[in-house]
Structure 1
Amino acid sequence: MLTFDFHSPVEEISLPLYAEKQVRVFMKRDDLIHPYISGNKWRKLKYTLNQAKQEQRTLLVTFGGAWSNHLLATACAGAKFGFQTYAFVRGERIDNPVLKLCQIFGMQLEFVDRQRYKNKEDLFHERFGNDQHAYFIDEGGYGKQALIGCSEIIDELADHYDHIFCACGTGTTAAGLLEGIHQRGLQTTLHAVPVLKGGEFLREEINKLTKRADDNLQLHSTYHAGGYAKTTPALIQFINEFTQQTGILLEPTYTGKLLFAVHDLLKKNEIPAHTKILILHTGGLTGLLGMLDKF
């Protein structure tokens, strides 16, 4: 079992909107777990890396875009726990701070065109099919082992919350939260906010990992701001205002859209008064480096 472990704190956020709507809002600060293996990235990698260790694999092979928090987390975790790391990067060759950090941690990068990238298992088998030391990790850390890690978030909560909100990219974090809610017999409603356009398909992805997708799950699929890693002036303004009011840094790809959704739903009175809300901050703040020109 890997020895690195950390339970992130929960803090209450006080804003005029919350007082007006008579709700209490808390944030689970998974962004504080680690500077680079932060948030749900560590949750997803924890048991995956343990499985790789048990199978005596020494090379982690994974996938992601040029600004992927998952790639950086895997590179850092590989260095920390004694793995070599290799990543297939979607799109044309590019140099940026996130990929440079991946390389500093020892990760080898291979850029592949977007069409070839769609067939991740084929890429893995072409390059590493005969390598018994190589271990496949899907994009974003998606998988059953990741589900277990994300379900532990619920185990760490000392209080009960009526509503829990999380951003949704692959559906793994939401699936894990649903599993944790079910295991503890809670009546909590989970709200998942897809960050990519057409995010309704994520209900099916969540169902592949856990059959709880129809239990206590609400999917809010209209807060994508035009698509994955897309922004709007209203979203950027919101992030600036929230960060300046709370001292909690957000980024536009995941947590910014998540908080924007929470505030909009409150303004529309779609969340009842006198309820307790928990928002999961999933980290990934290095994604800001590629979007600073938006601010």
Structure 2
Amino acid sequence: MFTEIFSPVQKIAFTPFNHLSVKRDDLIDPYISGNKWRKLKYILAKARAENKTQLVTFGGAYSNHLVATAAAAARSGLKATAFVRGEMVKNEMLLLCSLFGMELIFTDRESYRNKHQLFENHFANNAEAYFIDEGGASAEATFGCAEIIGELTETYDHIFCAAGTGTTATGLLKGIQQQQLPAKLHVVPVLKGGGFIAEEIARYTTINKQLALHLDYHFGGYAKTTPELIHFIKTFTGQTGLLLDPVYTAKMFYAICDLEKKGQIHRNDRILAIHTGGLMGLFGMQDKF
């Protein structure tokens, strides 16, 4: 998809931090943005190696993953189909998916729970169809996310990322271990009951003391917000010029600030936050602002 990527590390000025930097994966591409490109990179390589011509994946109506998969398929000369959770709707995200040529199959929530069965029901006789789990979760995705660490030219005391499935966090921890870095990885699950992410990480790499899960920053659950979080987004973006999405990155940066207030990290520590993109998620929350 890309011969080279653009993902600089930028230092930002935000009180009270003296050494807060951001890995700008959100700048990689407008549509295959952030960790979506990282995850899809090796998934598409495997699909091509297996002579697959149709990508089949899953997501909600405002899924950045669906847009990214649709765009990646179009650029790679592949077909794409998505099972969309819930009733039939129209929105900006699904419009982009359709423009990129993705077929959308709206699926009731009960059927959606069994994704492999959905795939079998529709594509069992299609040898060219390739299953991609929701959010791109897979071993191949962790390989791509691990490369984030290999691109760093400085060392940090703390590295932060938001987490939904735990795939990006897994890759980051693998990268830290492979590079033998001293940094502590702080993972901020964005949904209730995020402790399962430790189990997901353990499927692919060894968990050690360098991993910290912070389970209290979900703000009510996945894609949930509060007036406090919205106020934080406005304050942060107004002071730094850096856009955040309410689903992932805003909760991560809020956690960074709160952990400093609680004394768990220090304002003089060297901190790197991974901006995983997903900014189109703002479209689904315009009424919150």
Pair in the same fold by TM > 0.5: yes
Cα distance in 2 between the residues matched to 1:115 and 1:288: 27
Match of 2:11 in 1: 12
Cα distance in 1 between the residues matched to 2:157 and 2:72: 34
Shift, 1:15, TM fit: 1.9
> What is the Cα-based RMSD across aligned positions, in Å?
1.0
Cα distance in 2 between the residues matched to 1:87 and 1:153: 27
Shift, 1:115, TM fit: 1.1
Q: Residue 209 of structure 1: SS of its match in structure 2?
A: coil
Shift, 1:16, TM fit: 2.4
Match of 1:224 in 2: 218
- 1:188-224 CA distances to partner (integer Å, 9 max, x unpaired)? 10000000011111111111122x2234100001000
Q: Identify unmatched segments of 5+ residues in structure 2.
A: none
- 1:126-152 CA distances to partner (integer Å, 9 max, x unpaired)? 111111110000000000000000000
Check conservation: 1:175, 1:213, Cα contact below 8 A: no
Q: Find out whether 1:135 has 2:130 as its counterpart.
A: yes
Cα distance in 2 between the residues matched to 1:113 and 1:84: 23
Q: Find out whether 1:258 has 2:252 as its counterpart.
A: yes
Q: How many residue pairs were aligned? A: 289
> Could you state the TM-score of these two structures normalised by the residue count of structure 2?
0.98
Q: Residue 83 of structure 2: SS of its match in structure 1?
A: strand
Check conservation: 2:260, 2:267, Cα contact below 8 A: no
Q: Residue 265 of structure 1: SS of its match in structure 2?
A: helix
Cα distance in 1 between the residues matched to 2:78 and 2:10: 34
Aligned partner letter, 1:254: Y
Q: Find out whether 1:245 has 2:239 as its counterpart.
A: yes
Cα distance in 1 between the residues matched to 2:200 and 2:108: 24
Q: Residue 99 of structure 1: SS of its match in structure 2?
A: helix
Q: Identify unmatched segments of 5+ residues in structure 1.
A: none
Match of 2:286 in 1: 292
**4+ runs deviating over 4 angstroms:** none
Q: Residue 63 of structure 1: SS of its match in structure 2?
A: strand
Q: 1:50 aligns with which of 37, 40, 45?
A: 45
> Could you state the TM-score of these two structures normalised by the residue count of structure 1?
0.96
Cα distance in 1 between the residues matched to 2:48 and 2:135: 19
Match of 1:148 in 2: 143
Check conservation: 1:71, 1:102, Cα contact below 8 A: yes
Q: Percent identity?
A: 57
